[in-house]
Amino acid sequence: MSDHEDDKLIMLARFYDPSLGHIAKSVLDSHDIPCFIFDAEHTVVPWDIGLSMGATRLMVLQSDFEEGLRILKDEKINHE
Q: Which helix (H) or strand (E) holds 7?
A: none
Q: Which residue has the higher pLDDT, 78 or 76?
A: 76
CATH architecture of the domain covering 9-74: 2-Layer Sandwich (3.30)
Residue 44 CA to residue 40 CA, distance in Å, equals 8
pTM for the model: 0.81
> Do residues 28 and 73 lie in contact, with contact meaning Cβ atoms separated by under 8 Å?
no
Q: In the chain, what percentage of residues exceed pLDDT 90?
A: 59
Say yes or no to pLDDT of 2 above 60. Answer: no
Helices 18-30 + 65-74 axis angle, to 10: 110
Convert the pLDDT of each residue in 41-59 to its tens digit.
765 666 676 666 778 899 9
